[in-house]
Amino acid sequence: MHAVITGGAQGIGLACAQHLTSAGWRVTLLDKDNDLLEQSSSELGCQYAQVDITDLESVKKFFSSITHLDALINNAGIWIPQKLEDMNFDDQKEVLEVNILGTLLCTSSAIHHLRNSSSGSVVNISSLAARTNSPGLGLYAASKSAVETLTKQWALEIAPIRVNAVAPGLIETPGTSENYKEGAKEKRAKAVPLGRVGESSDIAKVVLFLVSEASAYVTGQIVYVDGGLGAGTPQR
């Protein structure tokens, strides 16, 4: 079984690669950062390709270079928090290009391979932000809402390829580590019903389930993996 993971060189994508590899999958990491890719792929002993998912030629070239694919994990994503009044248009355009158009480009380029698999599936990585309507996030939350809508739309369009999404809550990764410095992690953990900030492996375990035979009848679903943070307000 072969999986391609975008943004796989670090964080949640790399944890997905570790979990799938341990479960016997062959994994190819895609990322725009070549140094990180070389390091992570040699540690894992997996294949990799330097691909910026917003670059049409690069994405097409990669997907035409492979011969078999069972799962695509659209994990690469960026966030540039800005308030409406301070918004930089080019920054927010980039958020849409990576999170929505990059996901679209990879998925459309992978479809013919996934159709040839007996168990093809796609897992998109969304965010709790898609439904919390938090201030100051620029277009990040809106981009993830679009990813959730497309997850359901594509589940209808390309069945029997299964299409699901995982929406992480607060997860400590290289990309979010600044948010958890100097006591901030403990403070944030208090808001989470399960009492801790999540780890990349919390997400990877659910992604592994969603690409596996165990979820053979699951499609069009958004699974929130957030320690209960999105469920409501805990009693204090």
Give contact residues for ligand NAD (rule: CB under 6 A).
6-7, 9-13, 31-33, 36, 52-54, 75-79, 98, 102, 125, 127, 168, 170-171, 173-176
Which of 61, 101, 111 shows the shortest CA–CA distance to 77?
Answer: 101
The distance of closest approach from Cβ of residue 28 to ligand NAD in the complex, given in angstroms and rounded to an integer, is 13
Instruction: Decide whether 160 or 174 has the Cβ nearer to ligand NAD.
Output: 174
Per DSSP, the three-state class of 60 is helix
224 included as an active-site residue: no
Contact 193, 206 (CB under 8 A): no
Task: Convert 156-181 to b/e letters by CB count within 10 Å (16 or more is b).
Answer: eebeebbbbbbbbbbbbbeeeeeebe
The distance of closest approach from Cβ of residue 55 to ligand NAD in the complex, given in angstroms and rounded to an integer, is 8
The distance of closest approach from Cβ of residue 56 to ligand NAD in the complex, given in angstroms and rounded to an integer, is 12
Instruction: Decide whether 160 or 195 has the Cβ nearer to ligand NAD.
Output: 195
Instruction: Decide whether 11 or 138 has the Cβ nearer to ligand NAD.
Output: 11
Contact 197, 170 (CB under 8 A): yes
Per DSSP, the three-state class of 105 is helix
Q: Which residues are catalytic?
A: 140
